């Protein structure tokens, strides 16, 4: 039991300290650290209505607004029906990159939401993107 107390207490302490200098100002890790910062133009894409069996794609654009090179370590999807393409080359500060997401609607019907998890060396190491589509099973509807 005492082994569990220390990590929990440390976590509470770290998450409750949201101010800097005791003056009620939030610490801004994006501008005060020397890390990479990943910022996306959009975090969600809606394909609208598509027909079952269609493969649709979108490109999520991101920029490294930090002070160090950004490296995408891994990009995963919540479903085998969704695949991604991205570069593993470092993105210099101020530069941009893309993640292509392709959704295969075969075998699906109705509203679909899929999540893409981007893991990187950025100050926020996990970013969640989402795609959605309303899959129609019959082209005559």
Q: How far are the Cα atoms of 8, 13, 25, 78 from residue 1, in angstroms, in the given order?
A: 11, 19, 36, 35
Confidence at residue 139, expressed as pLDDT on a 0 to 100 scale: 62
Q: Which residue has the higher pLDDT, 10 or 136?
A: 136
Cα end-to-end distance, the chain, whole Å:
60
- Rounded CA-CA distance 111/123 in Å is 33
Percent of the chain predicted with pLDDT > 70: 74
Helices (H) and strands (E) in the chain, counts: 2, 8
How many separate domains does the chain show?
1
Average pLDDT taken over every residue of the chain: 83
CATH of the domain at 114: 2.60.40.10
- Write the pLDDT tens digit of every residue in 27-52: 344 444 799 999 999 999 999 999 99
- 43-88: per-residue pLDDT in tens? 999 999 999 999 999 999 999 999 999 999 999 999 999 999 999 9
Q: Tell me the per-residue pLDDT of 83-121, one tens digit each, with 9 for 90 and over.
A: 999 999 999 999 999 999 999 999 999 999 999 999 999
39 is in which domain, residue-wise?
A: 34-136
Is residue 17 situated within a structural domain?
no
**CA distance linking residue 43 with residue 40, whole number of Å:** 6
Exposure string of 72-101, with b = 16+ CB inside 10 Å and e = fewer, is beebebeeebbbbebeeeebeeeeebebeb
42 lies in some domain: yes
For residue 32, what is the enclosing H or E element?
A: helix 29-32
In sequence order, the β-bridge partners of residue 58 are 101
Q: Say if 60 falls within a structural domain.
A: yes
């Amino acid at each position: 039991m005492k082994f569990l107390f220390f990590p929990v207490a440390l976590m509470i302490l770290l998450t409750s300290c949201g101010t800097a200098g005791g003056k009620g100002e939030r610490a801004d890790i994006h501008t005060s650290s020397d890390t990479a910062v990943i910022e996306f133009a959009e975090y969600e894409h809606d394909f609208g209505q598509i027909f079952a069996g269609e493969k649709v794609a979108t490109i999520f654009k991101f920029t490294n607004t930090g002070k160090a090179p950004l490296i995408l370590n891994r990009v995963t999807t919540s479903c085998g029906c969704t695949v991604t393409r991205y570069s593993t080359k470092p993105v210099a500060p101020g530069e941009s990159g893309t993640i292509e997401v392709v959704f295969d609607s075969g075998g699906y019907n109705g509203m679909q939401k899929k999540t893409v998890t981007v893991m990187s060396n950025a100050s926020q190491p996990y970013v969640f993107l989402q795609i959605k589509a309303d899959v129609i099973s019959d082209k005559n509807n």
